Amino acid sequence: MRVALATCAALPELTPDDRLLLAELRRRGTDCRPAVWDDDTVEWAAFDAVVVRSAWDYHLRAEAFLDWASMVQAAAVTLWNPAALLRANAHKSYLRSLQAAGVPVLPTRWVDRGARVDLAALLDEETWPEVVLKPAVSASAHRTVRLTRAEAEGPAGRQALQDLLATGDVLVQPYAAEIGEQGEWSFVFLGARYSHAVLKRPAAGDYRVQEEWGGSAVALPPPIGLLEQARRIADRIPPPWLYARVDGIDRAGTLVLMELELIEPHLFLAEDPQAPGRLADAVLAAR
């Protein structure tokens, strides 16, 4: 079996975490190698399966990435996750669908590209003392901005929103204080089954939990109630799928969803010694 682990040009040899999967697949006798998703010299049809992993630049060229995914799948190559799922997950509007289905989601005001919005008035309507602005197509907190009420009514806040709206739709959300106080949970599902969980925390004085911004993560047994809620969210993912990450905060025992990551999430394989093997087995079983 020939397997490609799709990555980006900035990480041609994958992340250290994804190299654990590479090693496990090779240990099982698989011809496995990293391949840059937008490298025109790669013959994708020569692979039996392509697993999207360190493609951490997809949001910068989202349509090109999604076209690539469709092309791979059209070549009769098994793609994980499938192209339709990648497309559905690329724009954060999927959160609206989950919320409409009864999943607790962080309150959000959706602003369409090019719209004119009085950010200070919006905060007054919602009685939010602080907000976070997020592009609807983004990853790793790219172009995410946190603003206080005073900043939102000033020129810097207005410019921040205007800059984001010039290139795409925007989410305006209240700052979730739980992230700084408790951290954000990530529940990792491999082979469409729960594998492990980590608690992510931002660096002192920051609000972003990603490693790129100084955040940290530690593997912990999650509260059983939160885990069951994460399972119910994962159960809503249309099959087939290989991996998922459910991110949320604990708000008085309720898992409030921040993101459902189905494209290229960091799976924290290094945090659980059995996780790389679980994912490798799932790749081979799902071919």
Count CB neighbours of 256 within 10 A.
Answer: 18
Task: Report how far residue 133's alpha carbon sits from residue 124's, in angstroms, rounded to the nearest whole number.
Answer: 16
- From 102-111, 151-160, 273-282, the region with the lowest mean pLDDT: 151-160
pLDDT attached to residue 158: 79
Domains and CATH numbers, the chain: 2-87 (3.40.50.20), 94-104+179-271 (3.30.470.20), 109-175 (3.30.1490)
Q: How many CB atoms lie within 10 A of CB 250?
A: 19
Q: Given this model, what pLDDT does residue 204 score?
A: 65
Looking at residue 254, its pLDDT comes to 98
Q: Which of 155-169, 232-246, 249-263 has the lowest mean pLDDT?
A: 155-169
Q: Three-state secondary structure along 72-110?
A: HHHCCCEEECCHHHHHHHHCCCHHHHHHHCCCCECCCEE
pLDDT 10s digits, 77-113: 999 999 999 999 999 999 999 999 999 999 999 988 8
Binned at pLDDT 50, 70 and 90, residue 269 comes out as very high
Instruction: Say how far apart CA 85 and CA 81 lie, in whole Å.
Output: 7
Q: Report the distance separating Cα 111 and Cα 96, nearest Å.
A: 13
What per-residue confidence (pLDDT) applies to 213? 52
Tens of pLDDT, residue by residue over 40-58, are 999 999 999 999 999 999 9
How far is the CA of 173 from the CAs of 111, 136, 148, 153, 215, in angstroms?
11, 12, 12, 16, 20
What mean pLDDT is predicted for residues 56-77? 95
pLDDT bin (cut points 50, 70, 90) of residue 143 is confident
- Residue range 162-215, pLDDT digits in tens: 888 888 899 899 988 888 889 999 999 999 999 999 999 876 666 666 666 556
- Please indicate, yes or no, whether the overall pTM of this predicted structure exceeds 0.95: no
What's the rounded Cα separation, in Å, for the pair 201 and 215?
6
Structure confidence at residue 224 as a pLDDT band (50, 70, 90):
very high
Tokens (6 digits) for 123: 């905060």
